[in-house]
Amino acid sequence: MKAAVMRRNNAPLEIEEVTIDSPGPGEVLVRTAASGICHSELHVIEGGLPMPPPCILGHEPAGVVEEVGEGVTDFAPGDHVIGCISAFCGKCELCLKGKPHLCAGGETLQRPPEAGFRLSAADGSPILQFANLSSFAEKMLSHERALVKIRDDMPLDRAALIGCGVTTGLGAALNTARVEPGSTCVVIGCGGVGLSALQGCRIAGASRIIAVDTQPWKLELAQKLGASDVVDGSEGDPTLKVHELTGGGADYAFECIGLPVTVQQTVGMVKRGGAAVLVGVVPLGKMVELHIAEITLQEKRVLGSMMGSNRFRIDMPRYVDFYLDGRLKLDEMISARIGLADVNDALDKLRAGEAARQVIVFDA
Ligand SMILES: NC(=O)c1ccc[n+]([C@@H]2O[C@H](COP(=O)([O-])OP(=O)(O)OC[C@H]3O[C@@H](n4cnc5c(N)ncnc54)[C@H](O)[C@@H]3O)[C@@H](O)[C@H]2O)c1
Ligand SMILES: [Zn+2]
Ligand SMILES: [Zn+2]
């Protein structure tokens, strides 16, 4: 099969012929129909999220099951599925506490060494798989607990978005923050993740949603998706403007970029007792200075949000229903549908902030 392989950091991905194994016990072979391109791919390419090459990126997929391995009972050939990096072991303390998105038992979902590699290059050398998925490829060989079955009437190119960005953003609002109806919310960064957080706030019944971005066209898109106010972050520190608009700060502010300066702004934008929700990934090892007295004395809460605190087997089919009943808007979020061969161009566009979500669509 064809796949885009990261052979080195900070270099274009290489389109190669790659071998994918047959499903072993607990594994499912999926024909990738579509894969969204998330900013986290760039973090891996640029080294901010360490993952040794050679590896195949891509973690926002939807597809169709081709074959299932021994013992797989939840899936059958022909099933439509979404893949998620939050594969859960079902047995560790965090899974049993109802936080499977923080599962610590990931190694039990990997193959035993004697089973051989899931992915290998033409010369037989192993290629690392990204979080059980690696969807910049025509097929995926995943552990069954990285997949969820969805309705057949959901278009797969839009279903793909739910695999990461939508679940991350919607979940940040609905699961991590648990935004109450009537709340005031701010979303800083209106890419695929931020536009989804914004929609999560809208679905939760927020009274006011302020979108912040540095690109005017993203702010226009944010208004189409439910922002009541917009602030251009390139016109100086947006914190003051948010305080003006909200009369003293928001109940919730969502950082959806991953920059130290916008993390500081996010904490500054919430009012007494409010919550700053950190969704963007600040590259590993980078420190951020915060006014701690403000957090202590004003009881501000700073919440990390990993993959929208999901229980994806429950959340994703619900988000599919939200799309099909018109509450979740996905068509507007897709800037371009491309072929695998154009992945490097798409990554450049993402780096330059020129895209909301771009989706690789594979031939049927
Ligand atoms: N926590 C998680 O589980 C999780 C999951 C997925 C993605 N992420 C992270 O979320 C972040 C966003 O991902 P994405 O795919 O939406 O990225 P993106 O590149 O599509 O969006 C980022 C947006 O931020 C805007 N921006 C950049 N600098 C800004 C500034 N100074 N002020 C205001 N806006 C600014 C850009 O114009 C762009 O619209 C990334 O860091 C990604 O790694 C986290
Ligand atoms: Zn992602
Ligand atoms: Zn677990």
- 100-136 pLDDT, tens digit each: 999 988 888 999 889 999 999 999 999 999 999 999 9
Q: What is the pLDDT of residues 244-281, one digit of tens each?
A: 999 999 999 999 999 999 999 999 999 999 999 999 99
Does 196 qualify as catalytic in the annotation? no
DSSP-derived 3-state class of residue 324: helix
Q: Is the pLDDT of residue 86 over 80?
A: yes
Kindly state the tokens that stand for 304: 């990390």
Catalytic residue among 84, 164, 201, 256: 164
Residue nearest to atom 24 of ligand 1 (CA): 189
Ligand 1 within 6 A of CB of 189: yes
Average pLDDT in the 275-295 region?
96
How do residues 295-349 score in pLDDT, each as one tens digit? 999 999 999 999 999 999 999 999 999 999 999 999 999 999 999 999 999 999 9
What is the mean pLDDT of the segment spanning 42-51?
Answer: 93
| Per-residue pLDDT, 42 | 96
40 is catalytic: yes
Task: Give the burial string for 162-178 (b: 16+ CB within 10 Å, else e).
Answer: bbbbbbbbbbbbbbbbe
What is the percent of the chain where pLDDT is above 90?
96
Supply the pLDDT for residue 113.
87
Give catalytic status of residue 291 as yes or no: no
The number of helices, as runs of H, and strands, as runs of E, in the chain is 11, 19
pLDDT of residue 108: 87
Please state, for a pLDDT cut of 70, what percent of the chain lies above it: 100
pLDDT over threshold 90, residue 21 = yes
Q: What's the gap in Å between 310 CA and the centre of ligand 3? A: 13
Predicted model pTM: 0.97
Q: Does the Cβ of 36 fall within 6 Å of ligand 1?
A: no
Going from the Cα of 105 to the center of ligand 3, the distance in angstroms, rounded, reads 5
Residue 364, pLDDT > 80, answer no
Cis ω before 54 (30° cut-off from 0): yes
Which of 198, 257, 349 is the pocket-test mutation for ligand 1 (most atoms within 8 Å of CB)?
A: 257
Who contacts 220 (Cβ-Cβ below 8 Å, separation ≥6)?
none
Instruction: Tell me the CA–centroid distance for residue 117 and ligand 1, in Å.
Output: 33
10 Å CB burial of residue 295 (0-12, 13-18, 19+) is: middle
Structure confidence at residue 195 as a pLDDT band (50, 70, 90): very high
Place of tokens 């278009």: 155
The pLDDT value recorded for residue 94 is 97
Residue 213 tokens, joined: 């971005």
Place of tokens 């099951």: 65
163 lines ligand 1 (CB under 6 A): no
Which tokens go with 235? 């016109």
CB atoms within 10 A of CB 285: 7
For residue range 205-235, list pLDDT tens digits in order.
999 999 999 999 999 999 999 999 999 999 9
Which residues sit opposite 185 in a β-bridge? Answer: 209, 252
